[in-house]
Structure 1
Amino acid sequence: MASQEIETLASALARLPGLGPRSARRAVLWLVKKRESALPALLDALTEVQGRLVECHICGNVDTQDPCGICADPRRDAKQLCVVEDVADLWALDRAKLFTGRYHVLGGRLSALDGVRPEDLAIDTLLGRVEEGGVDEVVLAMNATLEGQTTAHYIAERLEDYPVRITQLAHGLPVGGELDYLDEGTLAQALRARRPLG
């Protein structure tokens, strides 16, 4: 039986996505074994990032600067705007290095069961960005779930009055799949095969 402090650490790690109780215990054991080198580096990194994390006021990305590195990058194509549900989706798409435009994070997806309404998401902010001009294409990169597709259709309807091309990621993404868990090859194919919505 481990001490209360170690149990508390394992419980805290187990709350992270992708880690269950067993994986958390393995991580704690690894940290204990490497406590001279790994633990101080991990603590320093957590302390450093805790005080510097901010949400980008333009796109909703999480970074250590505002505007984020993507919005501040002049090499990005401001004419293309990729709309994603969550920051994890943005990171997954950007990690593939296939989309050279800018992003917009909604902060979730419409869900009647969970009580998530359009006003709970950054949809008005998206419309404001499009209304400012300079955007030729809006890529709706919603997860291939019922709620994700409902959100995509709702946004497409709201964008109908603007002179922008509305596309979405190609089907072929697994139904019920989430972007953050897909490999770069699948993401590349989905981006290359995007098509107009509606």
Structure 2
Amino acid sequence: MIYDFGMPAPLARVVEMLASLPGVGPKTALRLGLNLLSRPAADTVALAEALARLHEQVGFCENCGCFAEQTVCHFCNDVRRDAQTVCLVEQPVDVLMMERGHGFRGHYHVLHGRLSPVDGLGPEQLNLAALDKRVASGLKELILATSATVDGEATAHYLARRFTSSGVKITRIARGVPEGGELEYLDEHTLSRALDQRVSWDATSI
């Protein structure tokens, strides 16, 4: 146990569990634990019930692999979205980030990882069987939105080759200078990408 300076055992257990979460250090875990203890008991019970039911109520869409409360997620069930345009991402959380922009109205496909020989992750460990079926059904466009890491780029190249002869249009999300970014704070790889993927001035003006 990480806390042994007279803290009551039940509280120490809560703090220890909180500290096991990513991004939560011992001090933050202690503050959270004390905050929970200071709240009404009903609030703590509600939080415990929500956590207890999390795995029961949230799973993954059998079609795209995104978060889902049923067998199919609400993105796949939304008839207003373009089912012929699919944006491929590495993890379900990436879908949530994409949706924050409110600019994409197609469907998603989640790989649940990326190719990484060092970690023993090959094509067999990714959600590719379902993707093969979707591409074979006649997609119009497959947007590769994997990360800009070495493994992410390798995954994008692998998928582009995998579906080259399928007839689907394969595109890659642009990389470059972020909105509001200053050049002095950007790395050379990002600047190189921005130059390679430059667009006509008319296309950028409003």
Give TM class, smaller chain.
0.7 to 0.9
Ranges in structure 2 where 5+ consecutive residues have no aligned partner: 179-193, 200-206
* Higher deviation after alignment, 23-32 or 82-91: 23-32
| 1:124-143 matches, cutoff 5 A | 124-133=129-138, 135-143=139-147
Deviations 1:142-180 (A, max 9, x none): 111111111011001101011111111111278xxxxxx
Say whether 1:165 aligns with 2:163. no
Structure 1 CA distance for aligned equivalents of residues 55 and 71 of structure 2: 15
Task: State the identity as a percent.
Answer: 39
Matching residue of 1:53: 58
Say whether 1:75 aligns with 2:80. yes
Structure 1 position 124, deviation (Å) = 2.8
| 1:30-41 matches, cutoff 5 A | 30-41=35-46
Ranges in structure 1 where 5+ consecutive residues have no aligned partner: 175-189
Say whether 1:153 aligns with 2:157. yes
Cα separation, partners in 2 of 1:173 and 1:142, compared to 1, 3 Å: farther
Supply the RMSD in Å over aligned alpha carbons: 2.2
Deviations 1:60-114 (A, max 9, x none): 1122111011111111110110111111111111233221111111010101110
Say whether 1:115 aligns with 2:125. no
Point out 4+ residue stretches in structure 1 off by more than 6 angstroms: none
Of 135, 144, 147, the match for 2:148: 144
Structure 2 CA distance for aligned equivalents of residues 44 and 92 of structure 1: 27
Local SS of the residue matching 2:85? strand
Structure 1 CA distance for aligned equivalents of residues 131 and 158 of structure 2: 13
Which of the two has higher C-alpha Rg?
2
Maintained 8 Å contact 1:144/1:173: no
**TM-score computed with the length of structure 2 as normaliser:** 0.78
Maintained 8 Å contact 1:111/1:147: yes
Residue type of the alignment partner of 1:12: M
Structure 2 CA distance for aligned equivalents of residues 77 and 18 of structure 1: 36
